[in-house]
């Protein structure tokens, strides 16, 4: 496709905006909310694992939709289901029922990332896709702006840590579903073609594991998700414990900076290659936890903002850089499968293990103390930050010593590296 009308471009941009806003509205503060309603231990870990569990099965849903139904119709139905499930989630405080509802919600939501990309790329020129996709990042930031709006303009108490963000997610999902009715028709591109679970899960890409460097990259990618998940899924609990009132808005400063830093990613990939671009992301992740550690130990809360603002470097350089590395390593016929395999390793397996690991870590360093006759739970966050900082230092050292960029001759970044919010 060589061109598109402004009308189509606007509709596709709004699609991206709403699709990411509906998730950011409630996910960022979920750990804070779960903690506030008294859910702990394994059930807390399960609830916070709803996203990675959804990632594990999302490719299968996408495969079915890709072969039988128009993408915009599937997106509309999934968004309607999300609206209902997010609403029910906000009404429910029973831990088991809340987990089931949010798991169903993520089973419906996670396939939409692939569907929105597919719809945009089917109706827009390749060089215009990044300009459309960036509106997903804008939508993520808009969720933070709304949380501030609710307090400053509407005069409400902070909505973080309550069920209100889930209701906001439900309302946004309903609005998105209505918009989906206006999207360009996008017929199933693989209709009539044979389907294979092996291909969808990227299992044919396992042949790449014969390559030592690729195997090291996969292992590091999975292990990196352990410290990464502490911030992504459980950061709101820490910020609440430190007295932050606008947690969603505070954490989304990282996504705001990301929108601008992502412009540097293609340049870095082209000039320095995948290894150094990914390494910059890992350095930023080390800086994040060192900043958390220093902020608590030295009594310098401004360092917490450093930990937040490096998010764009972490995600853009390591995760997007990793996608480029996989693209260069894989043969053309398995490139899509290789990307699917990487997503399953990072957001499925890695984040799932990371969620349980970090919940257990928090529980290990949390004790009950009586303050003025009131029993309170107190977490030794400094000990947690020390562990994660050391973990990242070891991973970073291992990465630079053991991993070698063997695709330097193909290091130029592909056109249209798209910004992302996660």
Specify the pLDDT at position 65: 63
Phi, psi for 235 (deg, rounded to 5): -60, -35
| CA contacts within 13 A on the Cβ side of 201 | 9
pLDDT at 185 over 80: yes
The architecture of the domain spanning 198-413 is Up-down Bundle (1.20)
Average pLDDT, the chain: 84
Specify the pLDDT at position 134: 80
Specify the pLDDT at position 6: 86
pLDDT band at 350 (very low <50, low <70, confident <90, very high): very high
| Residue 54: both structure tokens together | 């959804």
Distance CA(248)–CA(252), nearest Å, equals 6
Mean per-residue pLDDT, 152-167: 78
Mean per-residue pLDDT, 405-417: 50
| Cα dist from 222 to 97, 115, 205, whole Å | 29, 25, 16
How is the chain split into domains, by residue range?
Answer: 1-189, 198-413
The architecture of the domain spanning 1-189 is Up-down Bundle (1.20)
Specify the pLDDT at position 192: 66
Query: pLDDT for 38-50, tens place per residue?
Result: 888 889 999 999 9
With residues binned 3-state (H G I as helix, E B as strand, rest as coil), the percentages for the chain, rounded to 5, are 75, 5, 20
Q: Which has more confidence, 2 or 87?
A: 87
Specify the pLDDT at position 202: 61
Q: Poorest-confidence range of 59-63, 289-293, 309-313?
A: 59-63
Query: pLDDT for 240-274, tens place per residue?
Result: 899 888 888 888 888 888 777 766 777 787 788 77
CB–CB of 206/331 below 8 Å? no
Specify the pLDDT at position 156: 63
| CA contacts within 13 A on the Cβ side of 394 | 10
Burial 283-303 (b: 16+ CB within 10 A, else e): bbbbbbbbbbbbbbeeeeeeb
| Residue 284: both structure tokens together | 């930023």
Region of residue 156 (left: phi > 0; alpha: psi -120 to 50; beta: else): beta
Specify the pLDDT at position 64: 67
């Amino acid at each position: 496709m060589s061109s598109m009308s402004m009308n189509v471009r606007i509709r596709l941009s709004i699609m991206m905006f709403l699709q990411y806003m509906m998730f950011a509205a409630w996910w960022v503060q979920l750990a804070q909310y779960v903690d506030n309603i008294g859910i702990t231990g394994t059930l807390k870990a399960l609830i916070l694992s709803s996203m990675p569990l959804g990632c594990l099965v999302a490719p299968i849903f996408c495969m079915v939709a890709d072969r039988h139904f128009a993408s915009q119709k599937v997106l509309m139905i999934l968004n309607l289901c999300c609206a209902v499930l997010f609403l029910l989630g906000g009404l429910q405080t029973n831990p088991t029922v809340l987990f089931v509802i949010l798991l169903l919600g993520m089973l419906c939501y996670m396939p939409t990332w692939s569907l929105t990309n597919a719809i945009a790329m089917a109706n827009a020129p390749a060089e215009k896709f990044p300009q459309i996709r960036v509106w997903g990042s804008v939508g993520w930031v808009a969720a933070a702006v709304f949380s501030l709006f609710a307090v400053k303009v509407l005069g409400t108490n902070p909505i973080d840590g309550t069920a209100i963000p889930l209701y906001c997610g439900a309302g946004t999902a309903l609005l998105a579903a209505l918009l989906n009715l206006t999207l360009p028709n996008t017929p199933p591109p693989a209709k009539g073609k044979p389907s294979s679970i092996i291909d969808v899960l990227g299992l044919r890409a396992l042949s790449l594991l014969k390559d030592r460097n690729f195997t090291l990259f996969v292992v590091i990618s999975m292990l990196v998700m352990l410290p990464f998940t502490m911030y992504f899924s459980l950061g709101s609990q820490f910020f609440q414990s430190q007295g932050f009132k606008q947690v969603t808005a505070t954490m989304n400063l990282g996504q705001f900076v990301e929108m601008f830093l992502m412009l540097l990613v293609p340049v870095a990939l082209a000039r320095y290659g995948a290894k150094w671009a990914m390494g910059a992301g890992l350095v930023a992740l080390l800086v994040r936890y060192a900043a958390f550690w220093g902020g608590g130990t030295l009594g310098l809360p401004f360092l917490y903002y450093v930990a937040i603002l490096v998010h764009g470097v972490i995600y853009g350089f390591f995760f997007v850089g990793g996608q480029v590395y996989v693209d260069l390593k894989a043969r053309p016929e398995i490139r899509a499968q290789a990307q699917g395999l990487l997503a399953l390793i990072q957001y499925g397996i890695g984040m799932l293990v990371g969620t349980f690991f970090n919940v257990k870590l928090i529980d290990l360093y949390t004790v009950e103390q009586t303050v003025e006759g009131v029993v309170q739970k107190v977490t030794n966050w400094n000990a947690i930050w020390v562990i994660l900082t050391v973990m990242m230092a070891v991973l970073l050292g291992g990465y630079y010593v053991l991993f070698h960029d063997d695709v330097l001759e193909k290091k130029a970044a592909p056109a249209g590296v798209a910004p992302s919010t996660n």
